[in-house]
């Protein structure tokens, strides 16, 4: 009933364009259901969804409503926001520039100064720019690595960090208190604030800081070829500046370097999708390049592939590449006396256990958080403000995102591709490829293999199925696999960890995540995505060899699907 009411409201509204009304009239019942069965959610990761008319879509009305809410939130929380302003950036997607200008207009007409870039810029540079400009907040218009039909809206606080749950709670309340997206409006202030285009100093200082993280820039780079692609996104200019300044032999895949919202040069802009590597690897073979690196469209994630001794190219998961990079960075820092004895490495509850083992071997403490880099950025700021001497050493998520130096407070694809390139070159000069390095890690810490599988659930029926799946696991914990039950069960929604008949409180924000631990080192994490209509299954194993470990996650996943009836 609500779906039909929302649909008719849009169809009959004089505010909806005739073009959008034609789209609405041509919708099938399934499309109407998906576009109108709920309001597009503004959650802990902001908004992300399909572009188009509808309450469950990203469009001028839903973006305007979110920005009105954010403006009111800022005015309530920051006394100096009108003077300090807000920085806004965007990626290459359809409507990204339009949503940026709309957001700037709404802020301006609330009396809040808005800073915008002259064109697209990556997410980590937005995070840095908030800090550089000493602004009260930031907005990033992006759907990250999602398909071309999507866009999104993320908000940042004065530290350059995405709003964590306790901060965004009030914003969600304000947005919920507003009229529906067609009727949400405001009275503009008598004298709107300035909308200022940022100068090149933001780009220049950001690039210089990225270049400053190198540890071995004097390595001989001659003959070490790197293929780079920004996947039609935001990283091309900054990445090429960094590589050129530091003397790397880099070959951009030009067909994927234009900021194309349709991603016409790639089958997928997502480094987690193997199809995104097809074209860059093809180019790497032509050049006989040693390394392929890529960023996702908004430039915060990084993927890579390396060439083995037989000339074949292999991709690495985010868990594998980050563990190797951490080991390399910590080793070099330790050798030079740069590694802090009280340093901290940050990752997430669904990240491989290997990362913690690597950090521990160097005397570095590990702190784990829910998925979302905002929790890592927030903890860095927390220690700085309290004057707690726990230096940041490294932060990463399994989903191809890491941070090496915290001048940005979000994962940073430029920092990542630079240090992955340096690491690969360092080992190349020793006669090793990254496959050799991964095997060395396996011999030292056990052969870890971690894979993420997902199932999509569309529309209202899909949302109901997702809820049933999670409640079923919650009500019947300790799923048995091959006659073995997990010895530990963590429920982050209930904030309870059960182990050997005992219960302990989980001191993290509540989140709809479940994790099971088995005696043989197997872990299973289950989590509905915060940005897409899908449930993710994180399977981690430790094998007796590389071959043994590689085959296990899929076998476990298939058995789990059989048990769950999916």
User: Tokens standing for 238?
Assistant: 């900054």
pLDDT tens-digit map of 210-227: 999 999 999 999 999 999
Tell me the HSE value of 414 on the side-chain side, using a 13 A CA sphere. Answer: 33
Q: Is 10 inside a domain boundary? A: no
Q: Is 402 inside a domain boundary? A: yes
Residue 496: name the closest of 484, 513, 481 by CA: 513
Q: Is 2 inside a domain boundary? A: no
- Asked if residues 242 and 210 have their Cβ atoms less than 8 Å apart, the reply is yes
User: Tokens standing for 364?
Assistant: 């570095």
Residues 59 and 185 in one domain: yes
Task: Please count the structural domains in the chain.
Answer: 3
pLDDT confidence of residue 61: 98
For 450, the 3-state DSSP assignment is strand
User: Tokens standing for 32?
Assistant: 């109407």
* Residues forming beta bridges with residue 527, ordered by sequence position: 536
Q: Is 471 inside a domain boundary? A: yes
Phi, psi of 484 (to 5 degrees): -110, 130
Residues 436 and 500 in one domain: no
User: Tokens standing for 64?
Assistant: 């305007």
Residue whose pair of structure tokens reads 């399934």 in the numeric block: 30
pLDDT confidence of residue 171: 96
Q: What is the dihedral of CA 217, 220, 224, 227, to 10 degrees?
A: 20
User: Tokens standing for 176?
Assistant: 């919920």
Boundary-marking domain end, from 133, 167, 198:
198
Cα 99 from Cα 414, distance rounded (Å) = 25
Cα 106 from Cα 116, distance rounded (Å) = 13
Residue 148: how many other CB atoms lie within 10 Å: 19
Q: Which 3-state string (H, E, C) describes 408-459?
A: CCCCCHHHHHHHHHHHHHHHHCCCCCHHHHHHHHHHHHCEEEEEEEEEECCH
Residues 406 and 546 in one domain: no
pLDDT confidence of residue 532: 66
Residue 344: name the closest of 370, 329, 364, 330 by CA: 364
| Mean predicted lDDT score pLDDT of the chain | 94
Cα 243 from Cα 187, distance rounded (Å) = 48
Q: Which helix (H) or strand (E) holds 552?
A: helix 546-564
- Asked if residues 544 and 556 have their Cβ atoms less than 8 Å apart, the reply is no
Q: Which residues does the chain have with pLDDT short of 70?
A: 459-460, 530-532
pLDDT tens-digit map of 243-292: 999 999 999 999 999 999 999 999 999 999 999 999 999 999 999 999 99
Residues 304 and 178 in one domain: no
Residues 158 and 102 in one domain: yes
Q: Is 47 inside a domain boundary? A: yes
Residue 513: name the closest of 503, 523, 521, 500 by CA: 523
- Asked if residues 253 and 277 have their Cβ atoms less than 8 Å apart, the reply is no
Q: Is 211 inside a domain boundary? A: yes
Dihedral sign computed on CA atoms, order 118, 120, 121, 123: positive
Residues 415 and 556 in one domain: no
Cα 304 from Cα 277, distance rounded (Å) = 8
Residues 304 and 350 in one domain: yes
Residues 297 and 328 in one domain: yes
Residue 394: how many other CB atoms lie within 10 Å: 25
Q: What is the dihedral of CA 366, 360, 446, 423, to 10 degrees?
A: 90
Residue 261: name the closest of 228, 238, 237, 233 by CA: 233
Residues 85 and 182 in one domain: yes
pLDDT confidence of residue 531: 60
Boundary-marking domain end, from 385, 418, 442:
442
Residues 84 and 182 in one domain: yes
Q: Which helix (H) or strand (E) holds 392?
A: strand 392-397
Boundary-marking domain end, from 381, 411, 442:
442
CATH code of the domain in which 327 resides: 3.40.120.10
Tell me the HSE value of 184 on the side-chain side, using a 13 A CA sphere. Answer: 23
**pTM exceeds 0.75 for this model:** yes
Residue whose pair of structure tokens reads 């940073």 in the numeric block: 412
Residues 110 and 194 in one domain: yes
Task: Just list the catalytic residues.
Answer: 144
Helices 434-445 and 546-564: crossing angle in degrees, nearest 10, is 80
* Residues forming beta bridges with residue 452, ordered by sequence position: 538
Q: Is 4 inside a domain boundary? A: no
Residues 293 and 394 in one domain: yes
- In Å, how far are 65, 434, 435, 510, 546 from 447, measured between CA atoms? 49, 15, 13, 32, 6
- Asked if residues 429 and 300 have their Cβ atoms less than 8 Å apart, the reply is no
Domain carrying residue 106: 38-198
Q: Is 95 inside a domain boundary? A: yes
CATH code of the domain in which 495 resides: 3.30.310.50
């Amino acid at each position: 009933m609500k779906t039909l009411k929302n649909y008719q409201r849009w169809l009959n509204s004089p505010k909806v364009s005739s073009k959008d009304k034609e789209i609405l009239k041509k919708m099938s019942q399934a499309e109407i259901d998906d576009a109108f069965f709920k309001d597009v959610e503004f959650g802990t990761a902001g908004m992300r969804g399909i572009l188009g008319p509808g309450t469950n879509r990203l469009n001028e009305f839903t973006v305007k409503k979110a920005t009105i809410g954010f403006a009111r939130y800022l005015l309530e929380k920051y006394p100096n926001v009108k003077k300090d302003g807000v920085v806004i950036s965007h990626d290459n997607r359809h409507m990204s520039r339009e949503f940026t200008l709309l957001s700037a207009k709404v802020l301006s007409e609330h009396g809040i100064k808005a800073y915008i870039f002259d064109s697209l810029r990556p997410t980590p540079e937005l995070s840095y720019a908030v800090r550089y400009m000493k602004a009260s907040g930031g907005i990033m218009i992006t759907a990250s690595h999602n398909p071309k039909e999507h866009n999104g809206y993320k908000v940042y606080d004065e530290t350059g960090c995405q709003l964590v749950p306790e901060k965004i709670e009030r914003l969600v309340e304000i947005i919920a208190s507003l009229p529906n997206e067609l009727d949400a409006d405001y009275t503009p202030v008598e004298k709107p604030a300035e909308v200022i285009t940022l100068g090149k100093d933001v780009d220049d200082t950001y690039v210089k800081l990225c270049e400053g993280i190198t540890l071995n820039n004097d390595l001989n780079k001659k003959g070490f070829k790197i293929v780079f692609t920004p996947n039609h996104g935001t990283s091309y200019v900054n990445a090429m500046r960094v590589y050129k300044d530091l003397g790397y032999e880099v070959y951009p895949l030009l067909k994927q370097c234009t900021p194309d919202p349709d991603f016409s040069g790639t089958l997928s802009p997502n480094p987690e999708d193997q199809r995104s590597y097809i074209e860059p690897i093809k180019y790497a073979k032509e050049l006989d390049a040693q390394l392929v690196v890529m960023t996702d469209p908004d430039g915060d994630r990084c993927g890579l592939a390396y060439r083995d001794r037989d000339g074949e190219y292999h991709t690495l998961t985010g868990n594998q590449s980050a563990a190797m990079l951490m080991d390399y960075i910590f080793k070099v820092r330790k050798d030079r006396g740069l590694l802090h004895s009280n340093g901290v490495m940050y990752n997430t509850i669904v990240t491989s256990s290997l990362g913690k083992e690597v950090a521990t071997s160097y005397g570095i403490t590990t702190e784990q958080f829910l998925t979302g880099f905002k929790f890592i950025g927030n903890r860095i700021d927390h220690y700085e403000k309290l004057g707690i001497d726990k230096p940041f050493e490294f932060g990463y998520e399994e989903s191809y995102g890491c941070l090496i130096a915290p001048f940005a407070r979000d994962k940073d694809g430029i920092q990542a591709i630079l240090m992955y390139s340096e690491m690969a070159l360092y080992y190349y000069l020793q006669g090793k490829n990254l496959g050799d390095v991964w095997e060395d890690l396996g011999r030292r810490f056990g052969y870890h293999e971690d894979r993420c599988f997902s199932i999509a659930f569309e529309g209202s029926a899909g949302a109901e199925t997702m809820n049933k799946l999670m409640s079923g696991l919650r009500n019947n914990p300790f799923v048995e696999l091959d006659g073995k039950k997990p010895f530990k069960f963590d429920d982050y929604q209930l904030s309870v960890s059960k182990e050997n008949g005992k219960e302990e409180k989980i001191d993290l924000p509540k989140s709809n995540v479940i994790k099971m631990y088995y005696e043989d080192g197997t872990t299973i994490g289950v989590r509905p995505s915060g940005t897409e209509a899908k449930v993710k299954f994180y399977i981690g194993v430790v094998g007796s060899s590389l071959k043994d470990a590689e085959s296990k996650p899929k076998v476990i996943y298939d058995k789990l699907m059989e048990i769950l009836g999916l």
